[in-house]
Amino acid sequence: MLDPKDINWDEIGFSLIPTNSMYVARCQDEKGWQKGELEPFGDITLSPSASVLHYGQGLFEGLKAYRHHENEKIALFRPKDNAQRMIRGCKRLCIPPIPEEIFIDGVEKVARANKDFVPPYKKGAKAQGALYIRPAVWGTGPVLGVAPSSRYAFIVFCSPVGPYFKKGFAPIKLKISTENHRAALGGTGDVKAIGNYACSMLPGQNAKKDGYSEVIYLDAKHDKYVEEVGAANFFCIKGNTLATPSLDGTILPGITRRSILQIAKDVCGLQVEERKIEVDEVLKADEAFASGTAAVVAPIGSICYNDKEYTFNNFEVGKYTQKIYDTLLNIQHGVIEDKYGWIYPV
């Protein structure tokens, strides 16, 4: 394991750097969820017939701990929202819902136990250094036929991270997928089910081969409404209106998304709209960006659609995108007042 003192915070990107400890809680049919404990970070043992391995009965979450500029305080960002989202996902996948107290106990303990791995205040390329915390819940009991497991594990581990996209906060090139979809109505696109992600690897890989950072997915029914950017939410701005796809069942309800809607309204004075957005409208926008815990706010410089390139704001960061990013990052780092109760000191 790397000693945190040896980490070059300016160099790290978004890949796993193992830390001291992880949290493990378990659930057995009759007993229900029991509070977990910290264990050294390391391999786990699992039945080869665990339901998570065969049928994808599992969910994950992602949140960050930030170091604040004063007194080195460490704080999580809206962890209860992650807990509630995991509870919703559990219900969809027939997993006994992990109680919010156990979820919070896990992320709090992991953040505290690994506090030396939280990057220094606004360090790391483009100030995006943070401790990324990954809670996950898995069906661990043996199954043969497709059926819910009798046993579950809730695991929380963490890794220091830098920017998700190599260049940090800089415009990215995207491509609209005309072959694949991410989610369909009635499916699991609105929860962080592990099974939603392996199928995004091929379109993502193909886009990268062609020089794009990520794929934009359109809706599976009409092939005309923009849904998400890889595993991030999509926004576009025209005049003084900011729009993002409404949560109609195929969009993952991002916590960054929800925070941005609030900031756009309160701080930027933008009109905000949650609705269906046609691709033709997107291509004419003044600014566009993607959002998520990992990528924070990623300005979109251009979008390729049917072999044609559409550029936004001369491939420069737009003024509203900049303002939203600065405000969000400054709330997360305790630089500006958190009027919303989003900050959760640990």
Ligand X SMILES: *Cc1c(COP(=O)(O)O)cnc(C)c1O
Angle between helical axes of 255-266 and 79-92 (0-180°, round to 10): 130
Q: Are strands 32-40 and 172-176 parallel, antiparallel or unpaired?
A: unpaired
Q: How far apart are CA 55 and CA 115, in angstroms?
A: 35
| Distance in Å, CB of 191 to ligand X, minimum | 9
293 binding ligand X? (CB under 6 A): yes
74 binding ligand X? (CB under 6 A): no
232 binding ligand X? (CB under 6 A): yes
DSSP label of 54: H
Given 31, 166, 192, 339, the catalytic residue: 192
Where b means 16+ CB within 10 Å and e means fewer, 221-234 reads: eeeebbbbbbbbbb
Cβ neighbours of 263 (radius 10 Å): 20
Please, which of residues 236-265 interact with ligand X by CB under 6 A?
252, 254-257
**Between residues 204 and 292, which has the closer beta carbon with respect to ligand X?**
292
Among 95, 102, 107, 231, interactor with ligand X by CB under 6 A? 231
Q: Which stretch, 111-119, 139-147, 211-219, 228-236, contacts ligand X (CB under 6 A)?
A: 228-236
313 binding ligand X? (CB under 6 A): no
Q: How far apart are CA 335 and CA 40, in angstroms?
A: 33
* Structure tokens, 70: 């004063």
Interface with ligand X (CB under 6 A), residue total 14
| Distance in Å, CB of 228 to ligand X, minimum | 5
The answer to whether 333 and 69 have CB atoms below 8 angstroms apart is yes
- Catalytic annotation present for 73: no
62 binding ligand X? (CB under 6 A): yes
| Distance in Å, CB of 251 to ligand X, minimum | 7
Q: How far apart are CA 123 and CA 252, in angstroms?
A: 29
| Distance in Å, CB of 150 to ligand X, minimum | 28
Q: How far apart are CA 289 and CA 279, in angstroms?
A: 14
**Between residues 27 and 90, which has the closer beta carbon with respect to ligand X?**
90
Q: Which stretch, 158-166, 206-214, 287-295, 314-322, contacts ligand X (CB under 6 A)?
A: 287-295
| Distance in Å, CB of 32 to ligand X, minimum | 27
Please, which of residues 185-204 interact with ligand X by CB under 6 A?
192
Closest CA to 257 of 217, 216, 292, 218: 292
Q: How far apart are CA 86 and CA 276, in angstroms?
A: 25
Q: Which residues are catalytic?
A: 192
Q: Note the residues at the interface with ligand X (CB under 6 A).
A: 62, 192, 228, 231-233, 252, 254-257, 291-293
